[in-house]
Structure 1
């Protein structure tokens, strides 16, 4: 005897509703659709998703009786397709305009949005916020630190999503970093380094970050000093949209003067 979920799966196939389209309609990832369909019955589904499915199929509940009463006619197919497309369109437009993106890019953006939403609602735990906060920081830095792309590619390969010999970026640099990370991960997983060496290494790691922060702070303070000097020389109290370019030019002039003075002193 078929289970309720098997009956539902067969109905979805008969209606021509793909897992991708159903995922968009429900606002979840494709993987979550597979997870839902493996559950014992529809009562195990999140209430919001279950009601959306009932609305799509135009049924009151997920019982065998309700699903069994469905007659897949041309008119019913058209009605389901209309509801499906309307909700997908509304979902896509509710985030932001994707019309300038390629179809492939639109799918990826929507998958990312749905996955993040899913993680913060149905799969939320005490680590979720920081997982995505750090991911956000990584994405903000991806243009200035090329190694981030190589590490992401490495993780994609080790988790089975990409071919291990696929190189979408600088092949040589990517190959080198992947080899280094692989070696490091083996050390990590096998406990191949002594605790004292790890402590010393982490101390160097912390020190390097602190030095970098100090350098950034120093440059920021220097720039602030030069900006104040530029405003003073120009007779302004602050930077506005009207004087911004003039102030920037004055800052450049002051910095060049300091370079010349430094060269003369040397």
Structure 2
């Protein structure tokens, strides 16, 4: 079974990379310090490997990072909370392997920005909409429709936690016009989105068909920008999440993040304001009735 990457592993890999670069060392140097292979070091840096507390302490000290408080932060990252079985019990079984990192990131993120073109984003879907969306799909062995619904809706628990993330959505009007369910269910979904948009930390904008967007505004490709706050000295972790047929990618290089950030600015600027969006959703409810 492939190794499940988690936020803590990603953040630890980021801290190790920061220490390595600050000390002017290379992955080969880290391999010598740890007495291991370069491939294992590569796994650590990418958030796919494991390291013992002793090896982590030795690595930090030899790279010039001996502060006890910083060591404590590293050890907290090393202690991964996704133990064996976490993803294989209850409704969590419904998360496909490639989506598990996305769910983990959502639980730790302080900012989420999502652009969607055809389907209401999972973080905004009401239970009836989820049920209608999955109703026609082949069942996965060992999973019920109720499991699928619970798994999708449970992701929204992040809205009500003690320090919720700022979550901002830009939705193409096609998300709201595409027929995935009956009119009554769509009314419920629209009302659900209006209620969520009243939360201080949830922002929703619609990009309507009749709004000029400019030729350089990328209206065809869905993406999500995610930020996890820093816990060490390497700074926050920022990722661009993209999803295509049979492929999920997490991008963290500067050029990709800059391109998607520019795309987000163009899309959000071209969209309706928050108040205009709520009025738009109310008008759609009237149409459905």
Note whether the superposition's TM-score is higher than 0.5.
Answer: no
**Of the two structures, which has the highest relative contact order with CA contacts closer than 8 Å and spacing of 6 or more?**
2
| Larger gyration radius, structure 1 or structure 2 | 1
TM-score normalised according to structure 1 size: 0.26
Q: Which has the higher strand share?
A: 2
